[in-house]
Structure 1
């Protein structure tokens, strides 16, 4: 999941350099959503592993 967020972030940067602002904005939005999903899944996984250890 984090890999895809980084890929879309790189696509957004490249699109912004070449002046494709619409594509850059869309790719940046997708990267942000994927990163937030990754963070939520990481926290949930951490909490589940923390409670199973007891």
Structure 2
């Protein structure tokens, strides 16, 4: 998930450098969404993964 966010961020940066504003904006938006999903899943797995069965 984090890898996809970084890939879309790099696509956005490259597209912005070459002047493709629409593609850059969309890629940056997708990267933000994926990063937020990653943070939520990371926090949930950290909180619930530390449970002890004893």
Interval containing the TM-score (normalised by the shorter chain): over 0.9
SS of 2:43's equivalent in the other structure is: helix
- Greater percentage in helix: 1
1:1-54 Cα offsets, whole Å, 9 max, x none, are: 000000000000000000000000000000000000000000000001223376
SS of 1:19's equivalent in the other structure is: coil
Task: Give the aligned partner of residue 33 of structure 2.
Answer: 33
- Structure 1 outlier segments of 4+, above 2 Å: 50-54
State the distance in 1 between where 2:52 and 2:39 align: 20
Q: Gapped runs of 5+ residues in structure 2?
A: none
TM-score for the superposition, normalised by structure 1: 0.93
| Equivalenced residues, count | 54
Superposition CA RMSD, Å = 1.3
Q: Gapped runs of 5+ residues in structure 1?
A: none
